[in-house]
């Protein structure tokens, strides 16, 4: 089953269950405190936070998401991306646990026709209600794991706020992997065999300043299933990158860089990183993010340089990323018209950044030579960080150079500078309470770029006057 069909079936299924189907919101959230839309619930945060009343009490979407927290995993695990699509159904004070669980199960087992034996469930250890619903549906107790807060409790996003237990559906790929305790494999004692495909969150509490969990007046449902993971499950492949969503992009990379996929793991990682990052670049630029030295633009820049660097590892000595835009647009433009509309513009932005990066790379190389000449072959942590920060010179390039030429590189010092910067970035991106602003001012501004109708739709949903 192709990914287009999975997306369509999901939305149709929930439409039949009375949900209003909305198009994906922008990757740039209305919430000024959040860098990117990291989940399907983000556009509805004002409703979850009780700041506005819902216009529709049942909504389903396929939402564009970007998570930079997973970037180190990309290409290495079979299931993590920076850009991905999240299928989700939401209830705002309407249905609750029973329907959410029953419908998720119905969709997976009846519509997608996944054999029940291949599915596992996890619930929050104190959530007997959820546990009993799964039992009632017929899931054997041996396949329902009761886990703690780290695994099955969502939120609150700050010191206070809405939160609640969740339940996850795992798919058993039946891969032979070692268990940590020598017992029968379960999602809790293995890594890489069971894939979390769907998370159902029951937002039923509000955590106050003293850590008390107060029951919410309006209980909400927030679910999310990664389309790429569902596609892998449906297409009988282990790695998301082997689904139809990525095949044409990977083929494009192989043709343009003249490399072969699935011959060498190290090369494959680079190919997958590029395939992942080019999607993120296309979608971020189409939603109005531009390369810069701060905030969202800086993240974009980092993603691009990471992709360019992996291209270099594969032998690319000239800009190539802009040539991959067509493959992404051909694959996904039918669902996301904004990337078609912004195609030529996206190519231009990417090409400009690629050129700049290559230039900086050369400047950086000269600077490295100067530094080691003046410092007896040593590169201090501070200098490594400056090269990284000012010239976008990635540490792994320095590492290669050091190894090739016998330089001494202070990686620990570099990491200390990085950590300082990371903490700064984190505090800037921290998730705090909603401000009193309606966000309408921003929506108006952004609408020029992404199409006014879409935002009109969202402002209706969020009851923004
Ligand atoms: P994992 O434990 O595998 O990292 P998660 O628990 O962090 O996933 P959630 O925050 O629950 O993920 O997101 C809901 C769903 O979105 C997941 O069940 C998964 O299907 C999908 N998903 C989450 N993160 C990613 C990602 N980086 N790339 C692709 N899909 C993802
Ligand atoms: Mg995760
Ligand atoms: Mg998880
Ligand atoms: Mg989860």
* DSSP secondary structure, 346-402, as one string: HHHHHHHHHHHHHHHHHHHHHHHHHHHHHTTTEE-HHHHHHHHHHH---HHHHHHHH
The helix (H) or strand (E) run that includes residue 61 is: strand 58-66
- The 10 Å Cβ neighbour count of residue 197 is 24
Residue of the nearest CA to atom 23 in ligand 1? 226
Atom nearest to 196 CA in ligand 1: 18
CA distance 32 to 9: 33
Q: Cα dist. 105→8, 93, 229 in Å?
A: 17, 21, 16
Q: What percent of the chain has pLDDT over 90?
A: 73
Q: In this predicted structure, what is the pLDDT of residue 464?
A: 34
Q: How far is the CA of 225 from the centre of ligand 1 (A)?
A: 7
Q: Is the CB of 198 under 6 A from ligand 1?
A: yes
Would the CB of 151 count as within 6 Å of ligand 1?
A: no
* CA atoms of 293 and 402, how far apart (whole Å): 27
Tell me 410's DSSP state.
-
- Number of CB atoms found within 10 A of residue 355's CB: 13
Q: What is the pLDDT of residue 34?
A: 87
Angle at CA 81, nearest 5°, toward 80 and 85? 110
* Ligand 1 mutation pick, 62, 66, 79, max ligand atoms within 8 A of CB: 79
User: What pLDDT does residue 397 have?
Assistant: 76
pLDDT at 454 over 60: no
Nearest ligand 1 atom to the CA of 80 is 28
Confidence of residue 422 (pLDDT cuts 50, 70, 90): confident
Pairing state between β 378-379 and 119-124: unpaired
Q: How would you write 191-217 as a 3-class SS string? A: CCCEEEEEEEEEEEEEECCCCCEEEEE
* Cβ–Cβ under 8 Å, residues 126 and 174: no
Cβ–Cβ < 8 Å for 238, 296: no
What whole-number distance in Å separates Cα of residue 50 and Cα of residue 432? Answer: 14
> Can you tell me the mean pLDDT for 243-258?
98
Q: Determine contact, residues 245/3, Cβ cutoff 8 Å.
A: yes
What pLDDT shows up at residue 446?
37
Q: How far apart are CA 90 and CA 304, in angstroms?
A: 33
- pLDDT recorded at residue 113: 98
How many Å apart are CA 462 and CA 434, to the nearest integer?
Answer: 14
Using the mean position of ligand 4's atoms as its centre, give its distance from the Cα of residue 169 in Å: 9
Distance CA 22, CA 28 (A): 17
Q: Hey, what are 214's tokens?
A: 């107060």
Nearest CA to ligand 1 atom 8: 196
Q: Which residue, judged by its Cα, is nearest atom 20 of ligand 1?
A: 226
What is residue 434's predicted lDDT score, i.e. its pLDDT?
34
Integer Cα distance of 343 and 291 in angstroms: 16
3-state SS, residue 171: strand
Closest CA to 107 of 142, 137, 76, 82: 137
Q: What tens digit of pLDDT does each residue of 77-115 get?
A: 999 999 999 999 999 999 999 999 999 999 999 999 999
pLDDT band at 455 (very low <50, low <70, confident <90, very high): very low
What are the beta bridge partners of residue 171? Answer: 119, 195
pLDDT at residue 62 in the model = 98
Q: Decide the pairing of beta strands 83-92 and 119-124.
A: unpaired
Query: What's the complex ipTM?
Result: 0.99
Residue 374 in tokens: 């003046």
CA of 178 relative to ligand 2 center, distance in Å: 21
Residue 64 Cβ inside 6 Å of ligand 1? The answer reads: no
Helix orientation angle between 295-313 and 343-374, rounded to the nearest 10 degrees: 70
Answer whether residue 141 shows pLDDT above 50. yes
Q: Tell me how far the alpha carbon of residue 70 lies from the centroid of ligand 2, in angstroms.
A: 7
Determine which residue's CA is closest to atom 13 belonging to ligand 1. Answer: 224
Q: What is the mean pLDDT of residues 60-72?
A: 94
Q: Is 49 helix (H, G, I), strand (E, B) or coil?
A: coil
Q: How many residues does the chain have?
A: 465
- Global pTM reads 0.87
Q: Which of 119-123, 356-360, 373-377 has the highest mean pLDDT?
A: 119-123
């Amino acid at each position: 089953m192709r990914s287009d069909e999975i997306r369509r079936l999901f939305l149709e299924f929930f439409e039949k269950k009375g949900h209003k189907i909305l198009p994906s919101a922008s990757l740039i959230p209305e919430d000024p405190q959040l860098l990117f839309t990291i989940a399907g619930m983000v556009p509805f945060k004002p409703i979850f936070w009780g700041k506005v009343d819902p216009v529709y009490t049942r909504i389903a979407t396929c939402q564009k998401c970007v998570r930079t927290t997973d970037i180190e995993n990309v290409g290495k695990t079979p299931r993590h991306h920076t850009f991905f699509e999240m299928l989700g159904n939401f209830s705002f004070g309407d249905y609750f646990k029973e329907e959410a669980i029953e419908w998720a199960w119905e969709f997976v087992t009846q519509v997608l026709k996944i054999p029940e034996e291949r599915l596992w469930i996890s619930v929050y250890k104190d959530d007997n209600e959820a546990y009993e619903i799964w039992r009632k549906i017929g899931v054997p107790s041996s396949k329902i794991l009761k886990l703690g807060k780290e695994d099955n409790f969502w939120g609150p996003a700050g010191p206070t706020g809405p939160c609640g237990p969740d339940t996850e559906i795992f798919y058993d790929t039946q891969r032979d992997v070692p268990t940590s305790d020598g017992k029968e494999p379960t999602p809790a004692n293995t890594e890489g065999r069971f894939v979390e495909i769907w998370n159902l969150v029951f937002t039923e509490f509000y955590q106050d300043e003293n850590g008390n969990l107060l029951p919410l007046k309006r209980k909400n449902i927030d679910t999310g299933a990664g389309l790429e993971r569902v596609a892998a499950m449906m297409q009988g492949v282990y790695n998301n990158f082997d689904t139809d969503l990525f095949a044409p992009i990977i083929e494009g990379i192989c043709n343009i860089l003249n490399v072969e996929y699935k011959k060498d793991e190290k090369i494959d990682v680079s190919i997958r990183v590029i395939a992942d990052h080019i999607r993120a670049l296309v979608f971020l630029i189409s939603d109005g993010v531009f390369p810069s030295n701060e905030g969202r633009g800086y993240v974009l820049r980092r993603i691009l340089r990471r992709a360019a660097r992996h291209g270099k590892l594969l032998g690319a000595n000239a800009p190539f990323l802009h040539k991959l835009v067509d493959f992404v647009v051909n694959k996904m433009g039918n669902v996301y018209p904004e990337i078609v509309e912004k195609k030529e513009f996206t190519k231009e932005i990417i090409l400009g950044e690629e050129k700049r990066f290559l230039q900086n790379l050369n400047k950086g190389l000269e600077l490295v030579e100067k530094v080691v000449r003046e410092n007896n072959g040593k590169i201090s942590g501070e200098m490594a960080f400056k090269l990284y920060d000012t010239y976008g010179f990635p540490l792994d390039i320095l590492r290669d150079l050091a190894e090739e030429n016998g330089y001494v590189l202070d990686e620990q010092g570099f990491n200390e500078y990085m950590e300082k910067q990371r903490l700064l970035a984190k505090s800037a991106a921290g998730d705090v309470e909603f401000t009193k602003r309606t966000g309408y001012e921003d929506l108006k501004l952004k609408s020029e770029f992404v199409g006014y109708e879409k935002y009109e739709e969202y402002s209706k949903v969020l009851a923004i006057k």
